[in-house]
Amino acid sequence: MLEGKHQIKHSDVIMQLLVYYCCLDVSQNQQAFIDASLKELEHILGKSPLSLNYSFRQLPTDLKNKIDFDADDLFKISDNVVRILNQELKGIRALLKLLVCTEYESGLAKLCRNYDKSAWWGVSTDWMAVVYKLDNKYAIWHETLHLLGAHDCYRKGKDGQVIDRGPTCNANCVMVYAPSEETVNIKKWPFLCEKNLCKLRKKFDHTAKNK
Ligand SMILES: [Zn+2]
Ligand SMILES: [Zn+2]
């Protein structure tokens, strides 16, 4: 009986969604760290109580080359990303959003910090998340989780600027401002508040169903 129940539970999980990421101007060591961090997150998200079957993949080079990351406006780049992904990933069970990992001093990272002065380590738009604190997997996970539906647990004004660093939740949650080893215990899963767990589930169900 118990086995049967487990099987039913797992049938919800069979549907897999790909999430693409790409690395711009990163060293080999950074690349290895990013790959390992995302592998780890993929594994963690698959565990109860979320059991979401995401698979993180590097964006193929030919696709990456089609995106103009040198544009002088963050939203131009973001629009470009979603257009290319929509064109190229048609029919593929994938989230049409992109995680971009880039060097702290890259043009894109500077563009992000210009747009939001309080964005120390990363920024997310509707279609793209950019992370440039590449030695901190908490930062990589935080920006990735935005793509998967999580919201910040600190307050922002209408212009997107931070007005209160919070945290606005009282859980062990990686969506706090500038998450690190000091503020989040990743040994205790789920390291997300109830509100964000809910958002992640909804996002997965909605995207998977509409594919
Ligand atoms: Zn955030
Ligand atoms: Zn939270």
Distance 124 CA to ligand 1 centre (A): 7
β-bridge pairing 17-24 and 54-58: parallel
pLDDT, averaged across the chain: 91
Distance 155 CA to ligand 1 centre (A): 10
Ligand nearest to the CA of 145: 1
pLDDT at res. 6: 46
Nearest partner of 207 among 43, 90, 94, judged by Cα = 94
Which backbone phi and psi does 141 adopt, to 5 degrees? -65, -40
Q: Is 177 inside any structural domain? A: no
CATH number at residue 48: 3.40.50
Q: What is the per-residue pLDDT across 24-56, written as a single tens digit (0 to 9) for each?
A: 999 999 999 999 999 999 999 999 999 999 999
Distance 174 CA to ligand 2 centre (A): 7
Distance 78 CA to ligand 2 centre (A): 25
Binned at pLDDT 50, 70 and 90, residue 12 comes out as: low
Domain hosting 59: range is 14-152+196-209
Distance 42 CA to ligand 2 centre (A): 19
Task: Say which residue, 4 or 76, is predicted with more confidence.
Answer: 76
What total number of domains does the chain contain? 1
Phi-psi domain of 160 (left: phi exceeds 0; alpha: psi -120 through 50; beta: other): left
Q: Is 138 inside any structural domain? A: yes
What's the gap between Cα 78 and its chain centre?
A: 14
Distance 154 CA to ligand 1 centre (A): 8
Residues 6+ apart with CB under 8 A from 208: 15, 17, 93
Over the Cα atoms of the chain, what is R_g? 17
Ligand nearest to the CA of 196: 2
Distance 178 CA to ligand 2 centre (A): 12
What's the gap between Cα 26 and its chain centre?
A: 18
Q: Is 91 inside any structural domain? A: yes
Distance 66 CA to ligand 2 centre (A): 35
Confidence (pTM): 0.90
Say how far apart CA 54 and CA 63 lie, in whole Å: 20
Distance 66 CA to ligand 1 centre (A): 27
Q: What is the per-residue pLDDT across 144-180, written as a single tens digit (0 to 9) for each?
A: 999 999 999 998 888 777 888 889 999 999 999 999 9
Distance 144 CA to ligand 1 centre (A): 9
Note whether 66 and 89 are within 8 A (CB).
no
Q: Is 184 inside any structural domain? A: no
Angle between helices 74-88 and 107-115 (to 10 degrees): 120
Q: Is 90 inside any structural domain? A: yes
pLDDT at res. 4: 45
Ligand nearest to the CA of 198: 2
